Structure 1
Amino acid sequence: MTPIQSNGYAVFFDNELKELQIFLDNSNYSKVFFLTDMNTSEHCLPLINQFLPLLDNYDIIEVDPGEENKNIDYCIGVWQNLLDFDADRNSLLINLGGGVITDMGGFAASTYKRGIDFIQVPTTLLSQVDASVGGKTGIDMGNIKNIIGTFTQPKAVFISAEFLNSLDERQIQSGFAEIVKHGLIADKAYFSQLKEIKPKSVTSEIIYHSVEIKNKVVLEDPFEKGIRKTLNFGHTIGHAVETYSLKNDKKPLLHGEALALGMICEAYLSNQHNGLSEEELTEIIQYISSIFSPYKIKSGSYPDIMNFMKNDKKNNNGEIGFALLTEIGKCDFNIYLEEKQILDSLSFYTELNS
């Protein structure tokens, strides 16, 4: 597949990672480091060794997996490892993993010695179609997702479908939610195409098209001042419920599972406040509900969920901001709603699944 040109770098689609070898051969880095978690060390690093047998002079920095570990303490650990391994400003950090690794690794690299180069090798469907493009790096603080971070572009992104073979069905479904979002906000025909397949049947061509959609948006608005905010459809409520679940559930929601819930709630808000038709609202709900199991939101949790929303980065002057659909394939942004309106969407979701 033809590489996608993003903001000063290319996104390569190459199952055997030949382009990664070429990139490294044409570079002159003093040291190379891989940031992994325990899962990618076991399942993904062997593929690097298989496809890049000449790459043997590198060090590995390993962290624990999970969103709960995307915080400043683990980031300090990454910085300390870079120091211990004598990483200088001509070093390269290769982030091999899902969104936690690419977000935190990008942030650690962008701030270590005021910035060293990094590349992203996303290994989950979610990170391939979402975190791979846009230059967002970040960590969580307290109960707020991605509240500390930078806009820093990687030197390159390398996407290989081979990594997806190590994922279970739940992880694939989670990533598929972001693909569905791309269709809902930007491409009605794409959404219709997605309705004909199951998440486990996702192809390299679908991944490629999702990256194309996101890349077009971020090229137009690299610092999220305007149209890039449409990529947040489903995320205002989704992030808040995801944070609540991380704090309260023994088996917390994955990001895509929370996003699916958020898209249903925000499709309802789109119908109530932004012109989305009743027919298309029903179409969205039926499709998302056919893929994702419902999550039981107890009314007693509403205050906590609202408090998480009040700390969202998209808010302005205390108002909670949304990206809402006008129809399938078209989305507005900078729509601010009152607390009662948001609570109505949570009640709608609860009643829908009662």
Structure 2
Amino acid sequence: MQSIQANNYFVHFNQNAYEALNKHLKENKYSNIFIIVDTQTNEYCLPKLLPIIETDLNIEIIEFEAGEENKNIDTCIQIWHVLTELGADRKSLIINLGGGVVTDLGGFVASTFKRGVDFINIPTTLLSMVDASVGGKTGVDLGNLKNQIGVINVPQMVLIDTQYLETLSQSEMRSGLAEMLKHGLIYDAAYWREFLDISSIDYNCLDELIYRSVEIKNEIVMQDPTEKSIRKALNFGHTLGHAIESYFLESEDKQTLLHGEAIAVGMILESYISLHKNLISKEEYIEIKTAIQSIYDHVNFEENDINPILELLIHDKKNEYGLIQFALIEGIGKIKINQSVENKLILEAFQDYKS
């Protein structure tokens, strides 16, 4: 697969990825290498990566506990201390090997340690391959609020090896699929139609589907690296989806949702809002809702869940001047950003979802 040119870096695929990595190590005089992993990728992915790295440099492994609940500033502080104790300097290289939690947090650690050291992302989940590792967003959660602390800073490269997907559960694969569905809905109607009958997808073509998803995200980010305008399109399904994810993360009586599971709900809700703002047709809404519900389990919302979710919307990063801003679809394959939505319509969307 041909590498994809992003803003000041490349996304490399499969065998080309490791050739690019080793070439980069030979051409740059790094002092040492630190590989950040979580407990899952340390066990299942690191043994594949280490034998492929061609270097005489000292390699140190830094591990933290897997899970969204550990994507916080406390974990960063621990890693900064470890880097300091192990002699990391401005010429060190950090390699982030893992899913979105690892690439987001590891990128933030690298971007802020000694005011910034080089880092490379090697995503190991479908979600991180098509979304989290590409585009330069780094950061951590603030309590239960998603991605409130962070910077935009691009890696030296992103290396996508789809063999890592063999380590994933079906639920993790579905979580990543949500972002691929989103890319079709906001940008490429033909790509969206690939997923209308999930049972007919040829998973031998998964590499091509991932490649197209990365292309779509990259084409949007290249137009607007710092999210001043069109990059906001990538937040379709995320305004409500992130609030739902945060609420389920903090609620002791709720089972935590994977990111993609929450975003799937968010896309249905925000498609309903798009319908009632006359941006999509009833037929398009039914198509979207039916397709997403054929893949994801229904999420139960009690009446007393909705208001706390709405209160979390005020923390969405797209908001400006205290106004909640949505990215809505304007027909399948097109987007309309900076859309204000009344609470009444949001409540109606939840009622429709529950019914």
TM-score by length of 1: 0.96
C-alpha distance in 1 between matches for 2:122 and 2:349:
37
Structure 2 residue aligned with 1:31: 32
Structure 2 residue aligned with 1:169: 170
Structure 2 residue aligned with 1:344: 348
C-alpha distance in 2 between matches for 1:90 and 1:283:
52
Q: CA offsets per residue over residues 233-254 of structure 1, 9 Å max, x none?
A: 0000000110111112563110
Verify the 8 A CA contact 2:25 2:55 in the aligned structure 1.
no
C-alpha distance in 2 between matches for 1:130 and 1:105:
15
C-alpha displacement of 1:54: 5.2
C-alpha distance in 2 between matches for 1:219 and 1:132:
15
In the comparison of the two structures, how many residue pairs are matched? 351
Stretch deviating more after TM superposition (245-254 or 147-156): 245-254
Structure 2 residue aligned with 1:330: 334
Verify the 8 A CA contact 2:104 2:133 in the aligned structure 1.
no
C-alpha distance in 2 between matches for 1:167 and 1:200:
18
Verify the 8 A CA contact 2:33 2:57 in the aligned structure 1.
no
TM-aligned CA distance change 1:250 to 1:38, over 3 Å: farther
Structure 2 residue aligned with 1:160: 161
Structure 1 residue aligned with 2:274: 270
C-alpha distance in 2 between matches for 1:274 and 1:82:
53
Q: Residue 238 of structure 2: which of 226, 235, 238 is its match?
A: 235
Q: CA offsets per residue over residues 265-288 of structure 1, 9 Å max, x none?
A: 000000001420000000000000
Stretch deviating more after TM superposition (81-90 or 14-23): 14-23
C-alpha distance in 1 between matches for 2:95 and 2:312:
32
Q: CA RMSD in A?
A: 1.5
Please state whether the residue corresponding to 1:17 is helix, strand or coil. helix
Please state whether the residue corresponding to 1:194 is helix, strand or coil. coil
C-alpha distance in 1 between matches for 2:351 and 2:129:
33
Structure 2 residue aligned with 1:10: 10
C-alpha distance in 1 between matches for 2:197 and 2:247:
33
Q: Residue 289 of structure 1: which of 278, 281, 293 is its match?
A: 293
Stretch deviating more after TM superposition (190-199 or 155-164): 190-199
C-alpha displacement of 1:51: 2.9
Verify the 8 A CA contact 1:274 1:324 in the aligned structure 2.
no
Structure 2 residue aligned with 1:205: 208
Q: CA offsets per residue over residues 118-161 of structure 1, 9 Å max, x none?
A: 11000000000001211000111022110110010101000000
Matched, 1:307 2:311: yes
Structure 2 residue aligned with 1:138: 139
**Ranges in structure 2 where 5+ consecutive residues have no aligned partner:** none
Within-5 A mapping of 1:81-160:
81-160=82-161
C-alpha distance in 2 between matches for 1:220 and 1:343:
34
C-alpha distance in 1 between matches for 2:316 and 2:278:
21
Within-5 A mapping of 1:310-321:
310-321=314-325
Verify the 8 A CA contact 1:137 1:149 in the aligned structure 2.
yes
C-alpha distance in 2 between matches for 1:108 and 1:169:
30
Please state whether the residue corresponding to 1:327 is helix, strand or coil. coil
Verify the 8 A CA contact 1:274 1:325 in the aligned structure 2.
no
Structure 2 residue aligned with 1:247: 250
Q: CA offsets per residue over residues 223-242 of structure 1, 9 Å max, x none?
A: 00000000000000000110
